[in-house]
């Protein structure tokens, strides 16, 4: 089963033949796994899918359906395992002074700051294998 990181783009590649006629239409669809994905090229043998952001591993099932010139339909499914993208936490520490300097004649003031946490996604994950 192919594996890919969340938020990456994968290409689903299929094949379709009709021994007694021609393949009239093709259609890729998502069969299972929330949330819905974004597709391009759903009416071709190779569709591009942008995988959703997930918090835990998730299997998505995609189906390629081929309809021939007589209206007969054949299909094949492929499952892609989506792995969460590691979130990188960056910590920033702002030092504070216990006894800040004061200017003569000016009121004494002290501003307390709290360290901040900023989330940013990890570097772009490598391309994944597609089925």
Q: Which CATH number fits domain 3-85: 2.40.50.100, 3.30.420.40, 3.40.50.10860, 2.60.40.10?
A: 2.60.40.10
Please write the tens of the pLDDT for every residue from 38-59. 899 999 999 999 999 888 899 9
> How crowded is residue 33: how many other Cβ atoms within 10 Å of its Cβ?
19
End-to-end CA distance of the chain: 8
Helix, coil or strand: residue 43: coil
Q: What pLDDT was estimated at residue 61? A: 93
* Cβ contacts of 95 within 8 Å, gap of 6 or more: none
46-50/58-68 β-pairing: unpaired
Please write the tens of the pLDDT for every residue from 77-118. 999 999 988 755 455 555 555 554 444 343 333 333 333 333
What are 111's two structure tokens? 């501003």
Segment holding 63, helix H or strand E:
strand 58-68
Q: Is the pTM of this model over 0.75?
A: no
């Amino acid at each position: 089963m192919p594996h890919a990181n969340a938020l990456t783009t994968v290409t689903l590649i299929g094949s379709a033949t009709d021994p007694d006629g021609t393949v009239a239409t093709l259609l890729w669809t998502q069969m299972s796994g929330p949330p819905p994905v974004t597709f391009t090229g759903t009416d071709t043998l190779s569709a591009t899918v942008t995988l959703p952001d997930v918090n835990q591993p998730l299997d998505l099932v995609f189906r390629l359906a081929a309809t021939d010139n007589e209206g007969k339909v054949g299909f094949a499914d492929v499952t892609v395992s989506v792995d969460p993208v590691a979130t990188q936490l960056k910590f920033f520490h702002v030092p504070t002074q216990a006894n800040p300097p004061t200017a003569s004649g000016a009121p004494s003031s002290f501003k307390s700051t709290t360290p901040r946490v900023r989330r940013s996604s990890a570097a772009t994950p490598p391309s994944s294998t597609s089925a």
